[in-house]
Amino acid sequence: MENLKSLLKRESGTRGVARSVHGEVVRFTHRGVADLYRLVVDRPDFTPDATLADNVIGKGAALLAVYGGFAEVYGELMSRPAFATLTAAGITASCGTLVDNIINRAGTDICPIEKLVADVSDPACALTLIHDKLSQMKYPSSIHSEQL
């Protein structure tokens, strides 16, 4: 995990980093959960027992990590609902700063994804809700894979 946290801090434009049990690393370049969603959906072979370090981990990202079968998740900023979701699923969770909720980019309300899944505990249900929300937003996604 320390290598991932280091990559997250030093790589300009990197919003998150995930490493598979085979040593493959992907970098997330967009804000929000779009890149993590793409990884979980497009690379189900990657996520079981993988590790994740991200700038922000809200409950939506936590539910995606549970769905994908991640073993460990670090968030520079993590919401209490995300932490509770991860630990309840047996995923090792740690963070730089723990907050009540993730706030939207304008700083005016709770993050839309955090609100979307606030009452959701089923990771498959969250996956569907996040899919629908991302489809409405037409949010781009790019994950870059490499070996470490």
What percent of the chain is modeled with pLDDT above 70?
92
Domain ranges in the chain are: 2-147
95 in Cβ contact with 82 (< 8 Å)? no
Q: pLDDT digit string (tens) for 61-91?
A: 999 999 999 999 999 999 999 999 999 999 9
pTM attached to this predicted model: 0.91
Q: What are phi and psi of 51, to 5 degrees?
A: -115, 150
Using CA atoms, how far apart are residues 66 and 40, in angstroms rounded to an integer? 10
Which CATH architecture best describes the domain 2-147?
Answer: 3-Layer(aba) Sandwich (3.40)
Q: What is the pLDDT of residues 24-74, one digit of tens each?
A: 999 888 888 999 999 999 999 999 999 999 999 999 999 999 999 999 999
Report the alpha-carbon distance of residue 128 to residue 136 in Å, rounded. Answer: 13
pLDDT for the residue 147: 45
Q: Which amino acid is at 29?
A: T
